[in-house]
Amino acid sequence: MNFDIYKAFCGLSTTFGPSGREADIIEVLTELIADTIPHIGDWDHRTDAMNNLIYHRAGTGKKVLLAAHMDSIGIVVTHIDDNGFARFAQVGGLMLGDLIDCRVRFQNGTRGVISFEEKTPYEKLGFDNLFLDIGAADKKQAEQCIQVGDFAVFDGEPFTQGDIICGPYLDNRIGCLTLIGAMAQLEKTDCDLYVAFTAQEEVGLRGAQTAAFAIQPDYAIAVDVTDTGDMPERKYPMAVKLGAGPAIKLMDRSVICDNDVRNALYRAAEKSSIPVQREIMEFGGTDTGVIQRTAGGTKAGAVSIPTRYIHSPNEMASISDIKYAIILLAQAVADGFE
Ligand code: CO
Ligand code: ZN
């Protein structure tokens, strides 16, 4: 495979693409795919009204959909006061503690920092007590850079250390990379293959719903991040850890995965000698949930990349888990689901 996961991730991590504002990430993904996939001429691609980016390679076999959401969480400006400080709402699920002293960046390059009202006791802080400071002198100057309704994303540089990759938006730009890696490996298969980079997952699995409806696949696998249970004093036990292989999803709040798809993934793991983990994520859902239930239903499963500190500016995952996930996905699709 001719792409460096960390290098490719740096490009995707720093590309603007919060839910509903996916134009830039679509452009960067399209370029990366054109540079990475051998025989890209065998594929056609389109975007739909929801801004899902969908690749297709026609085949005579079963219709298979691989999906990963490309949107990220972020914030949206709701109000700018006379002194030039902005208030904001969440785009996707944010945690208050991750936002304090956090840097954000708008599509036009404007940067700001999030701080809090000091008069509220720290432990009583809510999202309403946070504000965004772009260093403007007053409202007029602020509005030359940002407007109510403008979206912003975490502004942070990724790093790699040993087998670790860390930075904003591993969720789910590493899922996108996993799909691209699998596309590159999947040269010989007769399945009618769709690869969808879905929009607006973080605000309720919205893009995957319309993509799956339009495609109506026989089988689907979504790739996303999942929590791990391996940090000190976690509240809930979870049998997934970093660096022990990709996780085959059994269940989360949105889905109980299809048996045929799950078994195909286990068979592929055994055949390729890949370590895999069993995932039950008690909180949160994935695109798998809506793909399974759209139109007349789809046999759907998921491959998850174990990730610490999900939805913080410093998500952490293992590069070997990502590499194994690519091989796992390609093997499962190549061998089929029956
Ligand atoms: Co997420
Ligand atoms: Zn995600």
Indicate which ligand has the atom closest to the C-alpha of 304: 2
| Ligand 2 centroid, distance to 69 Cα (angstroms) | 6
Range with the poorest average pLDDT among 1-10, 105-114, 168-177, 305-314: 1-10
| Ligand 1 centroid, distance to 318 Cα (angstroms) | 17
Amino acid at the residue 256: I
Which residues are in the CB-under-5-Å shell of ion ligand 1? 171
Longest CA span, the chain = 66
| Ligand 2 centroid, distance to 197 Cα (angstroms) | 12
Indicate which ligand has the atom closest to the C-alpha of 198: 2
Indicate which ligand has the atom closest to the C-alpha of 311: 1
21/19 Cα distance (integer angstroms): 5
| pLDDT higher than 60, residue 1 | no
Indicate which ligand has the atom closest to the C-alpha of 202: 1
Residues with Cβ < 8 Å from 93, sequence gap 6 or more?
73, 202, 284, 311
| Ligand 2 centroid, distance to 187 Cα (angstroms) | 27
For residue 82, the model assigns a pLDDT of: 98
pLDDT, one tens digit per residue, over 257-290 is 999 999 999 999 999 999 999 999 998 899 999 9
| pLDDT higher than 90, residue 129 | yes
| Ligand 2 centroid, distance to 116 Cα (angstroms) | 27
> Known catalytic residues?
201
Whole-prediction pTM: 0.97
Q: How many CB atoms lie within 10 A of CB 135?
A: 12
317/309 Cα distance (integer angstroms): 9
Q: Give the H or E element holding residue 77.
A: strand 74-80
| Ligand 2 centroid, distance to 139 Cα (angstroms) | 35
For residue 264, the model assigns a pLDDT of: 98
Beta bridge mates, 72: 18
Q: How many CB atoms lie within 10 A of CB 227?
A: 23
Mean pLDDT over residues 35-40, rounded? 92
pLDDT, one tens digit per residue, over 288-313 is 999 999 999 999 999 999 999 999 99
pLDDT band at 243; cut points 50, 70, 90: very high
Q: Quote the tokens at residue 230.
A: 């391996």
Which residues are in the CB-under-5-Å shell of ion ligand 2? 171-172, 224
The residue among 97, 99, 290 whose CA lies nearest residue 210 is: 290
Beta bridge mates, 153: 105
